[in-house]
Amino acid sequence: MNILLLTPPWSYFELRHPKLKRPSSLYVSADVSGQGALPPQGLLQLASVLREAGHEVSLLDGYFKDIALIKECAIVKRPRIIGISTITCLWKKTKALLRELRSSLPNSLLVIGGPHANFAKGNCLNESPELDAVVLGEGGRPLLELTKRVDYKLDINGIQGVISRGSSEEDSCACLRSIDNMDNIPLPAYDMADFGFYVPNLSFFDKMPFMHIFTSTGCAKRCGFCAIYDKNPIRMKSVSYLTKEIEYLIDSFGVRTINFYDDYNIFSHSPEQAYLLCEALRNLKKGIRWSAYMVNFDIERNLLTEMKRSGCFRLNCAVESGVQENRNRIRGEYFPLEKIRKKIREMRNVGISTVGRFQFGIPGETFREALQTIDFACSLPLDYAYFVKILLSPGSAMFNSYLEMGRINPDTETWSAYSDFFNPDGMTRRELALIIKRAYLKFYQRPSWWMKNIIAPRERCLYGGYLKRIKKAS
């Protein structure tokens, strides 16, 4: 069967300035330089599952494209099923896309999945009359079942994990977990990603080409701001699977740098497996460079040394807050701040550079506490830091608590990508905006930081490479 997988049209510019006119493509450079744009891993995974089952799959990422172009591609392909991966801040755009697709392809089955589907569930069908079904949770198995039913012209109602016009939300939501063993799913369809088009965030940037990869699905943590892995336990890819995936990326696409993108990944979850992965990466002898997110600071120095030896150049550390109580609230665990300091020092001592992530606007956090966090960030031996308004994903505990306090407008269309939609309870919105500016100024204005990072020859060469890469993408 002919299936088209899409993301709605998007760019960071439009997400930041929804009322302004779409910029010209010259803007791509400015656009990606902030956050980086990466191929949609969810769709790459679904594409490989569908292809393995014998379907003909095409993939189109809406990054820097418009509805007209996407519609044109869809008309050329005439797919039987169109699957769209969407997030809450792009739901309005997705509805407009669905309208256009329906008008020109009346016989295609229109399906959505991804974070917004999991959050809004059956409401998506109420809000978009053109939509046929909403796939919840891990999409592979339900989507395969859906294609089978369409193939055999059977009723699509009553599929586990799929809400359709004729099946109730309760029946469909019983199980959102469709992957039992990560090793049983085929490698993501990396051949469908345009390696020349995407640029990673500066904090993962090194030698190009680059790809981000996931070591797991689900999560073992329950962080207050995240709703994604709400009901699903963690399932890890095995070391041999990961090694095969990385080797495939290197051999087939010339990849030289990877980032382990899951927040809570193999290095946080399973030190034994992490040692084995480092050994396997070293044995590959392909000189791969890698970075990772680091959530768990209870990591042995020996493992850090092994990580460095296997190519790790940077760890992106989720410090979150410099006030112990607020950190505990966000992470749902107690880990002493002073131990975090010690671990970051160890990372640097073994030669891994570090980025600290800090979030402001945690429920109850005061302006004075936020200032304490800035001081804490500046006192850590970090190479870089980034400071954001807490990235509340719709449906998370902290999001719901702000909603209950009446501090979030219940109209979903006002929920922007940059957490501009909530009024914090411990400080004013103005103070929250001010604190972010102040944090960046204070962290990056220190002469010691400039001496270390800008004047050092290796970093100078890295920034130069990054600017060149962005220019090429545009």
Map the footprint of ligand B12 across residues 439-458, applying CB under 6 A. none
Q: Which stretch binds ligand B12 (CB under 6 A): 22-30, 111-119, 282-290, 329-337?
A: 111-119
Which of 79, 139, 361, 426: binder of ligand B12 (CB under 6 A)? 139
Q: Which stretch binds ligand B12 (CB under 6 A): 70-78, 86-94, 280-288, 328-336?
A: 86-94
Map the footprint of ligand B12 across residues 405-444, applying CB under 6 A. 417-418
Q: Which stretch binds ligand B12 (CB under 6 A): 83-91, 124-132, 232-240, 247-255?
A: 83-91
Which of 89, 208, 278, 390: binder of ligand B12 (CB under 6 A)? 89
Asked if 113 touches ligand B12 (CB under 6 A), the answer is yes
Map the footprint of ligand B12 across residues 365-394, applying CB under 6 A. 391, 393-394
Least distance between ligand B12 and beta carbon 341 (Å): 26
Which of 7, 128, 167, 291: binder of ligand B12 (CB under 6 A)? 7
Nearer to ligand B12, 28 or 112 (CB): 112
Asked if 83 touches ligand B12 (CB under 6 A), the answer is yes
Query: Cβ-count burial of 142 within 10 angstroms (0-12 exposed, 13-18 middle, 19+ buried)?
Result: buried
Nearer to ligand B12, 275 or 424 (CB): 424
Is residue 146 a contact partner of residue 135, using CB atoms and an 8 Å limit?
yes
Nearer to ligand B12, 225 or 297 (CB): 225
Q: Which stretch binds ligand B12 (CB under 6 A): 81-89, 232-240, 316-324, 337-345?
A: 81-89
Which of 45, 164, 270, 310: binder of ligand B12 (CB under 6 A)? 45
Least distance between ligand B12 and beta carbon 81 (Å): 9
Asked if 218 touches ligand B12 (CB under 6 A), the answer is no
Asked if 31 touches ligand B12 (CB under 6 A), the answer is no
Which of 38, 109, 211, 408: binder of ligand B12 (CB under 6 A)? 38
Asked if 362 touches ligand B12 (CB under 6 A), the answer is no
CA dihedral 453, 261, 111, 1 (to 10 degrees): 110
Which of 33, 41, 259, 316: binder of ligand B12 (CB under 6 A)? 41
Nearer to ligand B12, 79 or 139 (CB): 139
Q: How many residues bind ligand B12 (CB under 6 A)?
A: 40
Q: Which stretch binds ligand B12 (CB under 6 A): 21-29, 97-105, 135-143, 308-316?
A: 135-143
